[in-house]
Amino acid sequence: MRLQQRFQIAIRSANYSLATERAYWDWVKRFIKFHKMRHPDSLTGENIRDFLTHLVMKKQVAVSTQQQALSALVFLYKQVLGRDNITITDWLNAKRPKKLPVVLSTTEASSVLSCLKGTPLLIAQLMYGAGLRLKEAVRLRVQDVDFGRMEITVRHGKGGKDRMTLLPKVTVESLQQQIEISRQLHCKALDEGVCFVHLPNALARKYPNAAKELAWQYIFSSTQLSKDPRTGNMGRHHINERGIQSAVKNAVRQAGVNKNASCHTFRHSFATHLLESGYDIRTVQELLGHANVNTTMIYTHVLNRGGKAVLSPVDR
């Protein structure tokens, strides 16, 4: 069996996302190419060390990029090739710079939102109003929104974790309209004999009729049918994130906000503005889905106090 086939079987059995599968396989190919097309089974931990050091010295990659490459190669050797005893030592680590997140003021956030409309506006309101990541927003399914309890369930978020967050009141009417659009698209697909939607893990086998139910459809369904890259089935996926990213970038420029703001800036702003309003950091941690409160603590450094709350002598 070819290495790529063995890799696909292993990573899909471990329920990794398609995006992770593609990223990991890309690193495996780059690793093989770096070592002049030698099979990974003939390489050692020293070869992995040399590749990781090359990424820093020659490619000048960020620490997160080097870490992803390492994770991909560890998965390859331990889960695909069965080399549990492989060791990697003394490679050059990329240094993680201490960076504060870009945060919009409430006025800036309102200005950017006012320059958006339609689906990009609704998704931006969910990112800013509920702390969702962009991928979490576009992957919402009909059953994930509870209008009675005003809650959103984020399923299989970063790290494969589920969490609950609030449903902003301002999004209720638009979400209901979006669900109706999704229902109409779903009914049309059923009439045409199309009833496939991607289901996580083994739910497609456990609930063979789930794809026919509205509850499992994406709220932000694409208007076009597409082929699932893993199964080859034709169905309806969620919309592409790139359109939302482009719309937000344009809105930032249009609003005259001179910050390097992106979709993720809304999530940063959500956390910071909650802390400014006096909410407990543990509550914010839970809403964001952070495993460690130290991750949430970074937002305490960007609260709207300026200069660590020190009064400048010139202002006395």
Instruction: Kindly list the catalytic residues.
Output: 133, 158, 264, 267, 290, 299
The Cα 136–Cα 131 span in angstroms is 10
Torsion of CA 97, 295, 246, 225, to 10 degrees: 130
Q: How many CA atoms lie within 13 A of 224 on its CB side?
A: 5
The residue with tokens 């369930």 is 153
Token pair of 255 as six digits: 């609003």
| Maximum Cα interatomic distance, the chain, rounded to a whole number of Å | 75
Q: Name 241's Cβ contacts closer than 8 Å, sequence gap at least 6.
A: 134, 135, 138, 263
DSSP symbol at 221:
B
Task: Report the length, in residues, of the chain.
Answer: 316
| Torsions phi, psi for 2 (to 5 deg) | -65, 155
Helix H or strand E encompassing 154: strand 151-154
3-state secondary structure 156-167: CCHHHCCEEEEC
3-state secondary structure of 259: coil
